[in-house]
């Protein structure tokens, strides 16, 4: 059983920064690709960023490219998402997810490819 726990969300002014963390309790965490998704009220959950099992591959949604950075520390079983230059439209609940297909290099952008999900952390950006 894999558990994912996000933290680091909060209220920030436009232009500000946050760092989200996702701590995993998973024996094989270092073998999993990881993703961050977000869901705003009334909208579908959307892909934000993903990282391959080794950290050597990353992928971003166009809307966050150049502003957000995903990283991982396999020694700590944790994946991070650094959010810079935040905009009001970034307001959403942010979820981390694990793709349990081991040693997957290609980072998936679809929710159906991820097997485990955290409970989410709220990010609110005021204008």
The angle subtended at Cα 105 by Cα 116 and Cα 90, nearest 5°, is 55
Residue 112's SS3 state is helix
Q: Could you tell me which of 30, 42, 21 has the C-alpha nearest to residue 99?
A: 30
Torsion, Cα of 97, 63, 61, 58 (10° steps): -90
Residues 87-118: pLDDT tens digits? 999 999 999 999 999 998 789 999 999 999 99
The rounded Cα 118 to chain-centroid distance in angstroms is 10
Q: pLDDT tens-digit profile of 6-61?
A: 999 999 999 999 999 999 998 899 999 999 999 999 999 999 999 999 999 999 99
pLDDT tens-digit map of 60-94: 999 999 999 999 999 999 999 999 999 999 999 99
- Other Cβ atoms closer than 10 A to 103: 12
**Backbone phi, then psi, for 5, in 5-degree steps?**
-130, 115
Report which DSSP code applies to 107. Answer: P
What is the C-alpha to C-alpha distance for residues 35 and 23, in angstroms, rounded to an integer?
13
């Amino acid at each position: 059983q894999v558990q994912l726990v996000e933290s680091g969300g909060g209220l920030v002014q436009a232009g500000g920064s946050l760092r989200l963390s996702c701590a995993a309790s998973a024996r094989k965490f270092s073998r999993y690709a990881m993703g961050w998704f977000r869901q705003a009220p009334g909208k579908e959950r959307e892909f934000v960023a993903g990282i391959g099992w080794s950290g050597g591959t990353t992928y971003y949604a166009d809307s966050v490219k150049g502003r957000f950075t995903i990283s991982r520390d396999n020694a700590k079983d944790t994946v991070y998402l650094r959010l810079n230059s935040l905009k009001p439209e970034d307001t959403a609940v942010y979820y981390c997810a694990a793709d349990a297909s081991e040693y997957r290099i290609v980072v998936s952008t679809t929710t159906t490819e991820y097997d485990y999900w955290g409970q989410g952390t709220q990010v609110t950006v005021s204008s």
